[in-house]
Structure 1
Amino acid sequence: MSADQNKIWQGRFSVQSAEEVDVFNSSISFDYVLYEEDIKGSMAHAKMLGKQNIISEEDVSSILEGLEGILMDINNGALQFDPKAEDIHMFIEAELTSRIGDAGKKLHTGRSRNDQVALDLRLYVKKQAAEIIDQLEAFESVLISQADKHTETIMPGYTHLQIAQPVTFAHHLLAYAQMILRDIKRLEEVANHTDSMPLGNGALAGTTYPFDRQFVADQLGFKTVTANSLDGVSDRDFVLDMAYTLSMVMMHLSRLSEEIILWCSQEFKFVELDDAFATGSSIMPQKKNPDVAELVRGKTGRTYGNLQTLLTMMKGIPLAYNKDMQEDKEALFDSISTVKLALSAMIPMVDTMSANVDRMRDAASKGFINATDCADYLTKKGLPFREAYGVIGGLVKYCIEEDLTLKDLPLETYQSYHELFEQDIYSVIDLSTCVNIRDIEGGPAPSAVKKQLAMLKEQLEIVD
C-alpha cells in the first residue's frame, strides 16, 4: 500500500501529494515521543465509545488489546517508528488497523487529530512537569545540604560584582534555593493550567456523538474538560507557560553557573569542583575547567529561543487549528530535554562541590566590607545616617591612601573623624559581628539562616 493510500484525507484529492510536501509535512521524526500519551488517550477514547454504545464492546476489547500490544512492542523495541508515516497518530492508527482489522478503523469515531494532538500534548506536559519538579526538588535538597554545612562560613556579598557586605555561604546558596522553590511552584501552576481534557472538541466544533467527556477526563487523570471547542483545539497557552517556566529554570541555573565559574577561578578560589565534574585542556596541563557550568550557561539561550519561537508562531494564528501549530512540539521538546539534561549534570556537580572556607573569609576581610556597619555604629549613637555616611566615606578614603583597613586604624584616627567613636568600634566591625547582627528574618546571620533552612526543609518535607 502506498503512503498516499494510507493518508486518511486522500479521498478528496485526484493526484498524489508531492514527495517534497510529504517530507515537509511530516512530524513523525519528533512527535514520536508522544506515542505513550497517544496510546493512553486512544484507550480512554475507545472505552468511552463503548460505554456510550457508539461502538460495540467487542470492538473496544479488540482495540484495547491491539493498543496494549503496540505500546509493549514499542517499549521493548520490537516495533520501530515508520519514518514515512505522517505523524505518530497516523502511525499508531495504521499499525492498529493492520493488527486488528476493521475494528481499528472505528477508533477515530467522533475524534479529530486536532483534539487528539491537544490531548497528547497536555498529557505530555503534565508528565514532564512532574518529572522536572522531582529533579528540582532533588536540586533543592542538594542546595539545602550544602547550606547546612556552611551557616558559619563568612564570604563577601556583592553588588555590581564589587564587594559590598558580608554574608554566609549558606545564605548565598539559599538565595538560589528560593529561586528553585519558585520554579517548582511555577511548574505546579503549569500542570494546573494544563489540567483540562480537550478530547470531544473535534476539529473545532465538537461532535454529533453522545460523548461522555468527563469519563475520558477521569480515565486520564484530568480535573475538568475544556469549556470551548474552538479554544480547546487551538489553545497552546499551556505550552507557552511550560516554555516560559523552563526558561526561568535555566536562567536560575545559569546565574548559579556563572557564579561557580567565577568562584572556581584563581582570582576567587572560593570553591573546588570534584574532578568528575570538570574537564582539562588539550594543550595546558594545569587547567581544570568548569565545563558543566559553562554548558548550562550556554544552553540557556536555547530555551529563550524556543520561547520566542512559540510566541512568534502563535501571535498571528486565527481560530481554530492551523498547521503552524505543528511547530509547537520541537521547541517544547527541546526545552524540556535541555532542562532535564542540565539538572542531571548540575545536581551532582553542586552536591560534590567543596567550599574554600578560609579563602572566602579572607576575601570578606577586604574591600571595606564593614563600612556600612561602621556608619550604623555612629547612627545608633545619634548621628544622622547621611552625616555618618560622609564620616565613613572620609575614613575609607584615608585607608585607601594609606593602604590600611578599617580594622587597622587606631582609635585616635577614628576620633579625629568624629568624637562618637569609642573602643567598642572594633568589635562592631569584626566580620563575625557584622554577620551575626543581621539576624532579621531572611538575613544572613546563622540564626536567621537556620530558620530559612528549617522552613525549606518543611516545605520539601526533608527530615534531618
Structure 2
Amino acid sequence: MTLPDPRRDDVSRFPDPTYVETVLKPLFDAAKGDHVDHFRRVDRAHLVMLAETGILPGPVAGRIARALAGIEAELDPASLVYDGSVEDFFFAIERELKARIGADDGGRLHTARSRNDIDHTLFKMALKERLDTLLAQARTLLAALIDTAERESATLIVAYTHGQPAQPTTFGHYLGAAIEVLIRDIERLEAARAVADLSSMGAAAITTSGFPIDRARVAELLGFAAAQRNSYSCIAAVDYTTGAYSAVALLFLHLGRLIQDFQVWSSFEVGQIHVPNAFVQISSIMPQKRNPVPIEHMRHLASQTVGRAQMMLTIMHNTPFTDMNDSEGESQGAGYGAFDSGGRVLRLLAAFVPALRIDGRRVRENAARSCITITELADSLVRREGLSFRQAHEIAAATARAVVGADSDLVSGGYAPFRAAFAEAAGRETTLGPAEFAEVVSPEYFVAVRSRFGGPAPDPMADALRSYSATLAGFSDRAAAIMTRETAAAAELARAFDALQEIR
C-alpha cells in the first residue's frame, strides 16, 4: 500500500485566492502608498554602491540605472493592480526591470541584498519622516507653551491637588511644569529617531554577504547617520519600532493630563480659564451653553494616539528575535495612524493654549473662599513670631476652619479668628496687625516669597523661561543639522545615480 505523499500530490498553485485578498493585495496596495519613494531610493543607492565597489561592471550598472529611471518616469505605481502574478511590490518592480533589460542584467541589482534588509530600511525611512514631522509639531507646541508661560508668568491661578484647591501659583509656573515634561518627551522622541537612523542595508538576509559591499556608503547615500553594526540586529532588533511608539505613547499620555486639567478648569463651577469664542460650540437646544469641545477632541485624539502606539508594542510582544512579518508591512502601516491623530492634537493644542485667558475674578474668589494661602500664614508665624511649625500649623488650621465654617474669606473675615486662635495656642497676642495679616494671606505675597529654585516667583520663573528657550533652540539646531545632512545625501545620491546613467 502506497501512503499518500502530500508534497508529491500537491497540485495547488500560488497564490491561493483567499490569501491574495486577505494578505497579498493589502500589502501590495500599502507598499504603493507608503514606500514607493523609499524603494526607489534604496534601489538607486544599492546600485551606486555595487558599481563603486566593482561588484557590477560599469556598463551593466548604467543599463540598470537607465531602466530604473525609465520605470520611475513611465510607470505610475498607483495604477498597478495586484493580480497574483508576483508575490509583492518588490517583485513587481524587479519583473518590470527584467522585462526592459533582460533577466540577466535585471537580476543583478539584487546582488548582495535581501528583502529582509530592504524592508527594515524602508520602514526606518518611513518612521524617520513621521518622527521628523511629529518632532517639528512638538517643537511648535513647545514654543507656544513657552511664549504663553512668559506672558502669564505673573498671572495668578489656583493650583489643585487631589481635585481640591491647594495653593496659589501662576499660570506661567503651571505651564512651566508641562513644558519640562514636553522637553523630556521630545528628548525621548529624538532618542528613538537616533535608533531608526541606522541603516539595515547590507545585512542581506541575516549575515551580510560574501561580496565586498560598502554598507557605510549605502547608509550615507540614504541619509542615515550610519550603518547598524550587527547584521542580525538589522533584521531582528525591532527596537526602532518599539522605541518610537513608546515615546509617542508617553508624549500623548502626558499631554492628555494637561488637556484634562483644561476641561476641569473651564467648567462653570471652577471657571478658572476662559476659552474664547473661536474654540466654543453652542448647544443645539440650550442657548446658554458654551461648550469648549476642542478640549474633548484633543483628549480623545490623544487617547486614540496612545492606543495606536500601544498596539504596536502589543504586536511586538512575545515575537521571536528574528526577521518576521509581525514587524513588517501591515504592522508598520497600522502604526502610522498614531502620527496622524497625534499630529492633530499637537497642532490644535499649539493654537488653543495661547488663546486661553485666566479669569482673575474667579481665581481670586476661589482662592479666598478655599483659604489656599493658609500655608503661608503658618510659615510667616514661624518666621515672624518665632513659633514652631507645628504650633503655627495648628493656628492656621483653626483659622481656616473658622473662615470656611462662616462661609467667609481670609482677607475680610480671617483676622478675628486668627487672633483668637493665636492667643489660645501661644498664650499671648500676635504682633501681626490686620494689614500685615492681609498681606501674608494674599496670593501675591504667597507667590512672591516662593523665590527658591523652581518656584513661581519672578526671578526663578525668568531663569526657567531662559532655560526652556535655550533647550528649544538646541532642539531646533539638531533638527536643522539632520535636515542639512539628509538634503546633502539626497543630492549626492542624485549625482551618483545620474552619473551611472551616462556609462555605456
With structure 2 as the length reference, what TM-score do the two structures score? 0.81
Taking structure 1 as reference, are residues 64 and 353 closer, same or farther at Cα in structure 2, changes over 3 Å only? farther
Which residue type is aligned with residue 328 of structure 1? Answer: S
Q: Give 1:94 shift.
A: 4.4
Partner of 1:5: none
Partner of 2:497: none
In structure 1, which of residues 341, 353, 375 is the aligned counterpart of residue 378 of structure 2? 375
In structure 2, which of residues 255, 263, 266 is the aligned counterpart of residue 264 of structure 1? 266
SS in 2 for 1:438: coil
Partner of 2:336: 333
Output the CA distance in 2 between the equivalents of 1:70 and 1:442: 60
Q: Give 1:376 shift.
A: 0.7
In structure 2, which of residues 389, 396, 408 is the aligned counterpart of residue 404 of structure 1? 408
Output the CA distance in 2 between the equivalents of 1:67 and 1:441: 61
Kindly indicate whether residue 27 of structure 2 is the aligned counterpart of residue 25 of structure 1: no
Partner of 2:460: 448
Which residue type is aligned with residue 401 of structure 2? Answer: K
Output the CA distance in 1 between the equivalents of 2:78 and 2:368: 63
SS in 1 for 2:112: coil
Which residue type is aligned with residue 214 of structure 2? Answer: D
Output the CA distance in 2 between the equivalents of 1:358 and 1:110: 72
Residues 353-391 of structure 1, C-alpha deviation per residue, up to 9 Å, x if partnerless?
333333333333331110110111122233222222222
Q: Give 1:277 shift.
A: 3.5
Taking structure 1 as reference, are residues 227 and 393 closer, same or farther at Cα in structure 2, changes over 3 Å only? same
SS in 2 for 1:204: coil
Partner of 1:6: none
Q: Give 1:98 shift.
A: 5.2
Partner of 1:438: 450
In structure 2, which of residues 179, 183, 186 is the aligned counterpart of residue 184 of structure 1? 186
Kept in 2, the 8 Å contact 1:183–1:248? The answer is yes
Partner of 2:498: none
Which residue type is aligned with residue 441 of structure 2? Answer: I
Partner of 1:145: 147
Kept in 1, the 8 Å contact 2:369–2:407? The answer is no
Output the CA distance in 2 between the equivalents of 1:66 and 1:285: 66
Output the CA distance in 2 between the equivalents of 1:412 and 1:136: 51
Aligned pairs (5 A) from 1:55-454: 55-68=56-69, 79-80=77-78, 82-84=80-82, 87-97=88-98, 102=103, 103-326=105-328, 327-380=330-383, 381-409=385-413, 411-418=415-422, 419-420=429-430, 422-423=432-433, 424-454=436-466
Output the CA distance in 1 between the equivalents of 2:252 and 2:71: 36
SS in 2 for 1:222: coil
Which residue type is aligned with residue 442 of structure 1? Answer: G
* Structure with a larger share of its residues in helix: 2
Taking structure 1 as reference, are residues 315 and 161 closer, same or farther at Cα in structure 2, changes over 3 Å only? same
Q: Give 1:34 shift.
A: 2.2
Output the CA distance in 1 between the equivalents of 2:59 and 2:378: 84
Kept in 2, the 8 Å contact 1:154–1:364? The answer is no
Taking structure 1 as reference, are residues 214 and 410 closer, same or farther at Cα in structure 2, changes over 3 Å only? closer
SS in 2 for 1:365: helix
Taking structure 1 as reference, are residues 410 and 159 closer, same or farther at Cα in structure 2, changes over 3 Å only? closer
Which residue type is aligned with residue 422 of structure 1? Answer: L
Q: Give 1:202 shift.
A: 1.3
Which residue type is aligned with residue 430 of structure 1? Answer: S
Taking structure 1 as reference, are residues 295 and 69 closer, same or farther at Cα in structure 2, changes over 3 Å only? farther
Residues 301-332 of structure 1, C-alpha deviation per residue, up to 9 Å, x if partnerless?
33333343333332322242122223431342
Kept in 1, the 8 Å contact 2:246–2:313? The answer is no
Which residue type is aligned with residue 186 of structure 2? Answer: I
Which residue type is aligned with residue 34 of structure 2? Answer: V
Output the CA distance in 2 between the equivalents of 1:329 and 1:194: 13
Output the CA distance in 2 between the equivalents of 1:68 and 1:383: 85
Output the CA distance in 1 between the equivalents of 2:119 and 2:168: 53
Kept in 1, the 8 Å contact 2:160–2:167? The answer is yes
Q: Give 1:272 shift.
A: 3.4
Kept in 2, the 8 Å contact 1:272–1:356? The answer is yes
SS in 1 for 2:165: strand
**Larger RCO (CA under 8 A, 6+ residues apart):** 2
Kept in 2, the 8 Å contact 1:197–1:225? The answer is yes
Taking structure 1 as reference, are residues 137 and 312 closer, same or farther at Cα in structure 2, changes over 3 Å only? closer
Output the CA distance in 2 between the equivalents of 1:222 and 1:110: 19
Q: Give 1:92 shift.
A: 4.3
Output the CA distance in 2 between the equivalents of 1:153 and 1:355: 7
Q: Give 1:239 shift.
A: 0.7
SS in 2 for 1:321: coil
Q: Give 1:412 shift.
A: 4.7
Which residue type is aligned with residue 395 of structure 2? Answer: V
Q: Which deviates more, 281-290 or 109-118? A: 281-290
Residues 416-447 of structure 1, C-alpha deviation per residue, up to 9 Å, x if partnerless?
21244512232111111111111111111133
Q: Which deviates more, 130-139 or 215-224? A: 215-224
Kindly indicate whether residue 40 of structure 2 is the aligned counterpart of residue 39 of structure 1: yes
Output the CA distance in 2 between the equivalents of 1:163 and 1:21: 60
With structure 1 as the length reference, what TM-score do the two structures score? 0.88
Taking structure 1 as reference, are residues 363 and 61 closer, same or farther at Cα in structure 2, changes over 3 Å only? farther
Q: Give 1:181 shift.
A: 1.2
Output the CA distance in 2 between the equivalents of 1:382 and 1:176: 37
Which residue type is aligned with residue 236 of structure 2? Answer: S
Output the CA distance in 2 between the equivalents of 1:88 and 1:357: 61
Output the CA distance in 2 between the equivalents of 1:168 and 1:190: 34
- Name the Cα RMSD after superposition: 2.7
Structure 2 residues not aligned, in runs of 5+: 1-9, 423-428, 477-504
Larger radius of gyration: 2
Output the CA distance in 2 between the equivalents of 1:201 and 1:129: 24
Output the CA distance in 2 between the equivalents of 1:244 and 1:138: 21
Output the CA distance in 2 between the equivalents of 1:71 and 1:442: 57
Which residue type is aligned with residue 320 of structure 2? Answer: P
Which residue type is aligned with residue 367 of structure 2? Answer: A
Kept in 2, the 8 Å contact 1:30–1:329? The answer is no
Taking structure 1 as reference, are residues 13 and 456 closer, same or farther at Cα in structure 2, changes over 3 Å only? farther
- Size of the alignment, in residue pairs? 449
Output the CA distance in 1 between the equivalents of 2:256 and 2:375: 30
Q: Give 1:149 shift.
A: 1.8
